[in-house]
Amino acid sequence: MKIIKGVLLDWAGTTVDYGCMAPVSSFMKVFKEKGISVTMEQTRKPMGMAKIDHIRTMLAMPEIRKQWEGNLSEADVHELNTLFEKYLFEELREYTDPVPGATKAVNELREMGLKIGTTTGYTREMMHIVCAGAAEKGYEPDVTVTADDVDAGRPYPWMAYYAAMKMGVFPMNRLVKVGDTTVDMKEGRNAGAWTVGLIYGSSELGLSEAEVMKLSEKERSIREATVREKLIEAGAHQVLLSIKDVPSYIRELDEKLSKVVELS
């Protein structure tokens, strides 16, 4: 590789936990316990943010806010976050399987000489569980950065900058950011990295592997177009069907960028 030196991957919905199911389940349980009705769409919309920011964003939605009785304080937000973490920790280890093709793709990227970094909306404590579970199944990146490590999570670029520093990769346009949510795309663009969105396995698609298998060709086409549009609107330079397509895309990108450098 002449230009691209590293890849910055998201975790849930990108490399593990097909469909990003673990956090969605926990968020919905939290609001149900508080007597607040939330939809799957509302729950998934802030996906990729630090989890406490995810809760703040959901509470700011008019349809949810009007269901909250009385004044809403920061103490209430922290109470909900504590409850969310309780539910998540109860089942998080069950959601550490790499998505199909992820381990092979990452191994291929390493063979291309690229550093493998990651950022996540999970906390460091959560990632101890996720990293251990994924490593047992063959996936172990070089660097993992959480929102706990910086002043603010996505869409701010701080996690991406910190990961790049830990990886020893600069400038930021030598990195390719890969994720499955709109906030992933914003993180990548705000950081100045080449930014790629994924459709299958993503939170934006929001389906399990079994549900995907049941889709008709027409349904697949419609859903693919919808997710692609969302990710491009959020800043993706490219949207791929799955993580399996990442190595070949990066080879093509590197080749194109190399020609530009040669001509300049």
Give catalytic residues, as residue numbers. Answer: 10, 51
Q: Residue 172: what residue type?
A: M
Annotated binding-site members for Mg(2+): 10, 12, 180
Annotated binding-site members: 10, 12, 180
Q: For residue 39, give every residue at least 6 positions away whose Cβ sits within 8 Å of its Cβ, in sequence order, or none.
A: none
